[in-house]
Each structure stands twice: as C-alpha cells, then as structure tokens.
Amino acid sequence: MTRIGIILGSTRPGRNGEAVARWVHEIASKRDDAEYELVDLLDYKLPHLDELAPPIMGQYSQPHTFEWARKIDSFDGFVIVTPEYNHSTSGALKNAIDFLYKEWTNKAVGFVGYGQVGGARAVEHLRLVAGQLKLADVSEQVILTLHDDFQNYSVFTPREHQSATVTAMLDEVVAWSRALAPLRAA
C-alpha cells in the first residue's frame, strides 16, 4: 500500500499548524487509497544540521539523522503543512528537509500552506527545494489564510470548500507517488 507522510512543518509554541495538520490527516484517514501518517517535527528534536558530509552522500553519523532518515524513507509521498514566516517556510522545516537527500527523491509532494496570504510564498520556496531533491510537486495546493480560515488568527475554522481542495491535492499526491514507484525501485 502506498504510504503518505503528512509533515507538520512548525515547531513553534502555540502553532496553528497542529490543527491544520490534524485536519488534513482526518480527511486523509477516511480514504482507502493509501496509508497516511502524521509526522510532527517536534517528535524528532533535530538540531541545526550537524552532519559532516553533505546529505547527498548519504554518510550520516548522528543518531537523530538515522532516525529521521528511516521515517522519511518509509514513505512513498508527502503532504507538507507549512506556515509562512517572512515570505518563506519555517526554519525548522527547512532544516529537517536539509538533513536528507535520497530519502526524499523520486517521491511526490503536495503542500498545505497557511499564513497571511495562505502560505503561498512559503510553498513557492518549497517548490524550488523540492525540485533540487527530485521530489515531484503536484500542482494542486491548499491555501489557508489567517483572515478567512482562522478566527482571531488562531482558531482554525477552514472554509467549507477547503476539504475538496485537500481531497484534490491528495488525489494527485497518491497518483504521482504510485507513478514514481518504478524510479524508487531502481
């Protein structure tokens, strides 16, 4: 069965992303086309990148890197839930991505962004990173604005149409994850 990791890309205290990621996971869990797992960066306690060799070499030395690599390697595709901080993604998410290389390659990724302008700029930044990692980013994305999808900028209340957008994004992530399986097997 295809396995999709839903990565919660914020570690900030009081983060809005936890409610968003749980909502995406709840929608995904009702589907029977893949196994979905919520992956919270807080559970991995990754320091700033501390490997001596570049990740593309796959010569990891730190126990936390091996643990993170095993988790990411176990998936066929991803949904990344990202906040937008200063026109980009969170430092914690970018750091977690930078720890690895081959564990990301030839897999699909979809994005759920949230922020003042729906996390659109953070997602665009992540699309550039995905290209370098040979992650196939799907075009459908979820854009959640603090003004329209949150009460008082902190209580998550997604607009009704957003569930359909999540479903469309998941359809693409699963389809592309399956299509890329031969590349991962090679």
pLDDT digit string (tens) for 140-175? 999 999 999 999 999 999 999 999 999 999 999 999
Residue whose structure tokens are 């991505």: 97
Alpha-carbon gap, residue 167 to 23, rounded angstroms: 12
Alpha-carbon gap, residue 123 to 80, rounded angstroms: 9
Paired strand residues for 80: 7, 111
For the chain, domain boundaries:
3-185
Alpha-carbon gap, residue 57 to 35, rounded angstroms: 29
pTM passes above 0.95: yes
Query: Coil, helix or strand for 141?
Result: strand
| Mean pLDDT value of segment 88-111 | 98
Give the CATH architecture of domain 3-185.
3-Layer(aba) Sandwich (3.40)
Q: Are strands 3-8 and 77-83 parallel, antiparallel or unpaired?
A: parallel
